[in-house]
Structure 1
């Protein structure tokens, strides 16, 4: 229990420091995190039930359900592979976080990218993209209806924005959700 507890706190504190240092999204992070009496940043959301009912396909093409979050500390981020700045920056910081842990602690941590761009982000594309950051990172993609459900269950905003020449980009919330080993939200 003590080992798991200390691993969780090390991950938590490291994540908070990394997220607070993200310069492109610093204003968003300041709005999301608040200064707590414990001298750490974050919102304790224990007892909330983000993600329940989630169903998707992972980067291996296998079915993924909410229950699959159980067993490890999960860091869940919504983004997309063609994101020009915040997504890759966040994934670099998450890979640095995982690399800073000892092997036993790193084994207890799983990072997930849930794509907000299911039209372009296939399981294969997610696998290739995430391998640039850490081959152990998992990607999740769903139908537009599944994405809407996943985003709603995590209170995440996303929006398709047209650009020049008939292309588009995605606007989206840039929060990292922390789920404990029981898949309960803690940050």
Structure 2
């Protein structure tokens, strides 16, 4: 009887201790992302299969953006450095162009270099139609993207999205100002 009680207490203790170390994502969502076919800054094919098994952060930008995209891209560059400084592995960054008829792979590469983007784990995407990215953003990210008939500025939301290893969006964050860097790093760690 005493042995049985000791075993039960040991199991309970192990379960409690393992639960204490587990990190949790507050206000998490679970939105699956559908596959996509795009071209990266190196003019190579890229899709969801290239991200399988990795945690990733994605956003929507375009190279001729006059206001929100440069600060957003700078914030992602800072996050990329923080991920490296924290020794986090299998974390990718993906920036979808919302102006694919203007943003060529070469143009995206030039834009990314302005922010010292490290292409080993940061991919900039184009090579799809305007209609595709508008529909894809709304359907998968619940994000508004619209290129007006007049002018060169594409209207889009300024969130950063955390996606898990299965290709499910788990959370979104303000990507333009007051970016919660520490919270994002915490949430990446929670998924690993």
Q: Which category describes the TM-score, using the shorter chain as reference length?
A: 0.5 to 0.7
How far apart are the structure 2 equivalents of 1:113 and 1:123?
12
Q: 2:29 aligns with which of 34, 41, 45?
A: 45
How far apart are the structure 2 equivalents of 1:81 and 1:102?
25
- Structure 1 residues 45 and 158: CA distance shift in structure 2, 3 A: same
2:142 — aligned with what? Answer: 155
1:140 counterpart = 2:122: no
1:174 — aligned with what? Answer: 158
Aligned length: 145
Where 1:92 maps in the other structure, the secondary structure is helix
RMSD: 2.5
Where 1:119 maps in the other structure, the secondary structure is coil
- Structure 1 residues 129 and 145: CA distance shift in structure 2, 3 A: same
Q: Structure 2: give runs of 5+ residues left out of the alignment.
A: 1-20, 172-192
How far apart are the structure 1 equivalents of 2:40 and 2:84?
26
1:77 counterpart = 2:59: yes
Q: TM-score, normalised by structure 1?
A: 0.67
Q: TM-score, normalised by structure 2?
A: 0.66
Contact 1:54 1:149 survives alignment (8 Å): no
- Structure 1 residues 107 and 58: CA distance shift in structure 2, 3 A: same
- Further displaced range: 69-78 or 111-120: 69-78
Q: 2:100 aligns with which of 118, 138, 163?
A: 118
- How big is the shift at 1:89? 0.7
Where 2:56 maps in the other structure, the secondary structure is strand
Contact 1:156 1:172 survives alignment (8 Å): yes
How far apart are the structure 2 equivalents of 1:122 and 1:102?
28
Structure label with greater radius of gyration: 2
How far apart are the structure 2 equivalents of 1:181 and 1:76?
13
- Structure 1 residues 106 and 89: CA distance shift in structure 2, 3 A: farther
How far apart are the structure 2 equivalents of 1:148 and 1:94?
22
How far apart are the structure 2 equivalents of 1:89 and 1:106?
24
Superposed CA deviations along residues 139-183 of structure 1, whole A, max 9, x for unmatched, are 1111234323422322221122356xxx42111011111112232
